[in-house]
Chain A
Amino acid sequence: MKSNPLEFRRKEGLKPSFRIFSYSGKRPKKGKSGKNNFPFLARSPQGFAAGLGTSNHFFRLEGVCGFMNLFLTQTINGLGLGSIYALVALGYSMVYGIVKLINFAHGDIIMVGSYMVMFIMTVMGMPLILAVIGSILFCALAGVLIQRVAYHRLLTHDAPRISLLITALGVSIFLQNLFQLLFGSEVRSMPTLFDLPAIQLGELHITSANILNIVVSVVMMIGLQTLVARTRIGKAMRATSEDAGAAKLMGINTNHTVAFTFAVGSGLAAVGAALYCNTYPQIKPTMGNLLGLKAFVAAVLGGIGSIPGAMLGGYILGVAESWTKNFYSNLTDAIVFGILIVMLLVKPSGLLGKNVKEKV
């Protein structure tokens, strides 16, 4: 009984990704993958310093301190950047997990969220907290609307995957043009959002934006995981992901579940948007392109459909980017997309996406 949909999927040549929501029970071994993913973290700093070092003992000691400091700061910078990728990647992953749709319009939702924060704060003159909540609600609504208008019919009529993909690209272009029409194609400046002091730990200087990004993204991931694993609607999501037909037979309103997934994914993108605007106070209608693409890479890297995977993918990507910039900034995007290619060659299912080898 259980193996039937699986086999069907395999025949279609699709990755069986319903597993991915099953981390509440059997989760892939996190420790193992974590260790493998950060080989450079495990290496001793002295090893690095010796590589760079001079023959003078005193300078080498000082070099180690400076290097450790640089190493930590760059890693934190990377985690801060990766947090935003991760929050966007969550949306890609959730939607893919439920309806097998790569929603390329998701990157533009972060643009919509950013413009909403800007609009509510500077045009309507509301305080920050209302701007953030308003932006989240607006994006959640926009996500549901996009699903209803653009994808619903295709999904219920079992349209070919390529039609969905092209529709998603169309939605993305539509959103970009709509916002160019509404707000102009010019870059817009954001006001100060969260005015928090930076943290100084000895030599280590951590910007408030980085701390905020990391904390918020972790909280969001834990919240989302709890939602999916422990609540009724989460159970419905998992069931719909596993087998939409069977879920329907069991009395689950799959339409509502899919809409809810879009709402949550888009709401998370709006949280990402608020963090983005706080970190990089400049927005434009095409800002979602590269950001969305990198978040998509993060989702694939972590194993698309997996929530912790999306987070892990985002962090790895951010840290890799940060470190590349430290050494040779010209290669930044090459490294980011290079990671994707290597990952697809080595482990196409992603780090935490399980490669299911079911026996029929």
Chain B
Amino acid sequence: MKKRILASFLAAVMAAAMAGCGGSPAPASSGAPAASDGNSAAPAQENNAAPSGDTIKIGGLAPLTGDVSQYGIAVNNAITMAIEKANANGGVLGQQIEYIVEDEKGDPNEAVNAYNKLVNNDNVVAIVGDVTTKPTQAVAQKSVDDNVPLITASATGEEVTLAGENVYRVCFIDPYQGKLMANYASKKLSAKSAAILYDNGDPYSTGIADAFEASAKELGIEIAAKEGYQTGSTDFNSQLTKVKAANPDVLLLPVYYNDVVLIADQARANGIECALLGADGWDGVLGKIDPSKTDVLKNSYFCSQYSAESDDPDLQAFLSEYREKFGNDANMFSVLGYDATNILIDSIQRAGSTDSQAIIDAMKATNYKGLTGTTTFDENRNPVRSAVILTIEGGAYKFVENFEI
């Protein structure tokens, strides 16, 4: 009896997994003329793919099921959109692009298996992925051995791109945002002193706080107070009392939106009127604060990778097309996924061939204007581009400017 239950459970899991694998590539390859039936057709074609040139294969790795599937789905949707668009415009190097996505369920082992399948069976020329840091790290190690060009849309862990010369990313890393906000405070807000209140149990928060502190010191901003708190705290009065005594020009809150609401409310109650600074963890803060309290977020500035309020026509077109196609709003992950794919396609075009090293060399020289602005890469293959600075006025986000260090 037990065995039968187990067997039927396993069967169900396998069926679900196969549905996940088989279902997803279908919309992706619909633009490609030859390979309309997905995976099964792929090995047959690939035998004589290189010379005759019917399609160029790009692999995708994303968690389409599991805990982090919401990120994976957002990225994957955007990738399919970007590839469809490219194919409609004649593809790349005169060939259509075939997109093969593998669901790795947010698990590093699954991601490595999926990677092996993409590289060894499907012979993809490059990979867009992975989505979260840990699987990306696992795959990045493998990709260095095979020298496969890899570009991740959203893995923020600093060490991911340090794996090798072939690994790129389009999202900002956490320390970069700290550096960026220090520069913004110095150059645009003319801050001479700053305070930091951060969550000392969260690497995101400590990463930004430390980078901000280091850059601020270089820029001649005095760090008047640097206070930490334990994850899950609700009372910040003690730390804010010290901040108030230090009387800084700006207060950096490199934390996620729930904590931002609590801290901002208590900071204003304690009589701290200075500008509040934040990073992309602030994205969505207005959904987490009661309308009667939005005044506490007045005079605050935070950076983000994109702004839905931006008047960029390309971005607005993307957002409305995405909504039409998938029935929900695009988020930061989709915007980054779209740019990552386009940067890769642009690199293949410039490389003039599907040779791995040629593509990697072309990616190094990237200077691509996408939805998030114009991206180039630094020596660690992290993006260098302007960030969007947002503020909150009258209970709504307001686009301030694009800012670049």
Point out residues on A near B: beta carbons under 8 Å. 66, 69-70, 73-74, 77-78, 80-81, 122, 187, 189-192, 198, 200, 205, 207-210, 279-282, 287, 290, 321-323, 325-326, 329-330, 332-333
Contact of B245 among A66, A200, A333 (CB under 8 A): A66
Given A208-B269, A325-B229, the answer on whether A189 and B235 have CB atoms closer than 8 Å is: no
Is B228 within 8 A of A73, CB to CB?
no
- How far is B293's CA from A279's CA once the two chains are assembled, in angstroms? 13
Listed residue (B232, B265, B293) with the most chain A CB atoms within 10 angstroms of its CB? B265
- How far is B154's CA from A25's CA once the two chains are assembled, in angstroms? 68
Chain B residues with CB under 8 A of A210: 237
Judge if B242 is at the interface, Cβ distance under 8 Å: yes
Is B258 within 8 A of A191, CB to CB?
no
- How far is B265's CA from A325's CA once the two chains are assembled, in angstroms? 18
Q: Please, which residue of chain A has its CB at the minimum distance from the CB of B289?
A: A189
Q: Please, which residue of chain A has its CB at the minimum distance from the CB of B288?
A: A189
Chain A residues with CB under 8 A of B289: 189
Minimum CB–CB distance from A259 to chain B (whole Å) comes to 32
Is B293 within 8 A of A207, CB to CB?
no
Given A70-B245, A205-B271, the answer on whether A281 and B293 have CB atoms closer than 8 Å is: yes
Judge if B145 is at the interface, Cβ distance under 8 Å: no
Given A191-B292, A280-B262, A330-B230, the answer on whether A325 and B238 have CB atoms closer than 8 Å is: yes
- How far is B229's CA from A210's CA once the two chains are assembled, in angstroms? 20
Q: Mark B230-254, 1 if CB is under 8 A from A, else 0.
A: 1011110111011011000000000
Judge if B45 is at the interface, Cβ distance under 8 Å: no
- How far is B359's CA from A6's CA once the two chains are assembled, in angstroms? 86
Minimum CB–CB distance from B190 to chain A (whole Å) comes to 26
Q: By DSSP majority rule, is chain A's interface helix, strand, loop, or mixed?
A: helix
Is A281 within 8 A of B265, CB to CB?
yes
Q: Please, which residue of chain B has its CB at the minimum distance from the CB of A72?
A: B241
Chain A residues with CB under 8 A of B269: 198, 207-209
Given A189-B288, A189-B289, A192-B290, the answer on whether A280 and B234 have CB atoms closer than 8 Å is: yes
Is B292 within 8 A of A192, CB to CB?
yes
Minimum CB–CB distance from A203 to chain B (whole Å) comes to 9
Minimum CB–CB distance from B318 to chain A (whole Å) comes to 28
Which 8 interchain pairs have the tightest Cβ spacing?
A: A325-B238, A77-B237, A191-B290, A280-B234, A191-B292, A189-B290, A207-B269, A192-B292
Is B238 within 8 A of A74, CB to CB?
yes
Point out residues on B near A: beta carbons under 8 Å. 200, 227-230, 232-235, 237-239, 241-242, 244-245, 258, 261-262, 265-266, 269-271, 288-293
Q: Please, which residue of chain A has its CB at the minimum distance from the CB of B295?
A: A192
Is B271 within 8 A of A326, CB to CB?
no
Is A330 within 8 A of B241, CB to CB?
no
Is A329 within 8 A of B242, CB to CB?
no
Q: Please, which residue of chain B has its CB at the minimum distance from the CB of A276?
A: B234
Is A70 within 8 A of B230, CB to CB?
no
Chain B residues with CB under 8 A of A333: 230
Given A208-B269, A330-B200, A330-B230, the answer on whether A281 and B262 have CB atoms closer than 8 Å is: yes
Minimum CB–CB distance from B239 to chain A (whole Å) comes to 6
Contact of A189 among B244, B245, B261, B270 (CB under 8 A): B261
Contact of B228 among A192, A282, A321, A330 (CB under 8 A): A330
Chain B residues with CB under 8 A of A80: 237
Chain A residues with CB under 8 A of B265: 280-281
- How far is B244's CA from A73's CA once the two chains are assembled, in angstroms? 11
Chain B residues with CB under 8 A of A321: 235, 238
**Can you sample 13 A-B contacts with CB below 8 Å?**
A69-B245, A74-B238, A80-B237, A81-B237, A189-B290, A192-B293, A207-B266, A210-B237, A279-B235, A281-B290, A326-B241, A326-B242, A329-B227
Is B237 within 8 A of A282, CB to CB?
no
Number of cross-chain contacts by CB at 8 Å: 93
Contact of B200 among A70, A200, A209, A329 (CB under 8 A): A329
- How far is B239's CA from A73's CA once the two chains are assembled, in angstroms? 11
Chain B residues with CB under 8 A of A73: 241
Is A329 within 8 A of B261, CB to CB?
no
Is B271 within 8 A of A322, CB to CB?
no
Is B239 within 8 A of A329, CB to CB?
yes
Minimum CB–CB distance from A348 to chain B (whole Å) comes to 28
Q: Please, which residue of chain A has its CB at the minimum distance from the CB of B238?
A: A325
Is B270 within 8 A of A205, CB to CB?
yes
Q: Identify 5 new A-B residue pairs, CB closer than 8 A, beyond the known A192-B293, A329-B228.
A: A77-B235, A189-B290, A191-B293, A192-B290, A321-B238
Minimum CB–CB distance from B3 to chain A (whole Å) comes to 33
Minimum CB–CB distance from A171 to chain B (whole Å) comes to 23
Q: Please, which residue of chain A has its CB at the minimum distance from the CB of B272?
A: A205
Chain B residues with CB under 8 A of A281: 261-262, 265, 290, 293
Q: Please, which residue of chain A has its CB at the minimum distance from the CB of B235?
A: A81
Given A205-B244, A322-B238, the answer on whether A189 and B271 have CB atoms closer than 8 Å is: no
Listed residue (B232, B235, B289) with the most chain A CB atoms within 10 angstroms of its CB? B235
- How far is B228's CA from A7's CA once the two chains are assembled, in angstroms? 51
Minimum CB–CB distance from B196 to chain A (whole Å) comes to 12
- How far is B238's CA from A323's CA once the two chains are assembled, in angstroms? 7
Chain A residues with CB under 8 A of B239: 325-326, 329
Q: Please, which residue of chain B has its CB at the minimum distance from the CB of A280?
A: B234
Is B258 within 8 A of A77, CB to CB?
no
Is A282 within 8 A of B232, CB to CB?
no
Chain B residues with CB under 8 A of A330: 200, 228, 230
- How far is B234's CA from A187's CA once the two chains are assembled, in angstroms? 12
Q: Please, which residue of chain B has its CB at the minimum distance from the CB of A331?
A: B230
- How far is B270's CA from A218's CA once the two chains are assembled, in angstroms? 23
Is B230 within 8 A of A332, CB to CB?
yes
- How far is B268's CA from A198's CA once the two chains are assembled, in angstroms? 10
Is B288 within 8 A of A187, CB to CB?
yes
Minimum CB–CB distance from B243 to chain A (whole Å) comes to 11
Minimum CB–CB distance from A240 to chain B (whole Å) comes to 36
- How far is B270's CA from A198's CA once the two chains are assembled, in angstroms? 8
- How far is B349's CA from A49's CA once the two chains are assembled, in angstroms? 69
Q: Please, which residue of chain A has its CB at the minimum distance from the CB of B244?
A: A205
- How far is B252's CA from A271's CA once the two chains are assembled, in angstroms? 34
- How far is B235's CA from A294's CA once the two chains are assembled, in angstroms? 13
Chain A residues with CB under 8 A of B271: 198, 200, 205
Chain B residues with CB under 8 A of A66: 245
Is A77 within 8 A of B241, CB to CB?
yes
Contact of A332 among B233, B237, B244, B293 (CB under 8 A): B233
Listed residue (A187, A198, A322, A329) with the most chain B CB atoms within 10 angstroms of its CB? A329
Contact of B241 among A74, A192, A200, A209 (CB under 8 A): A74
Minimum CB–CB distance from A23 to chain B (whole Å) comes to 30
Chain A residues with CB under 8 A of B227: 329
Is B230 within 8 A of A329, CB to CB?
yes
- How far is B238's CA from A78's CA once the two chains are assembled, in angstroms? 8
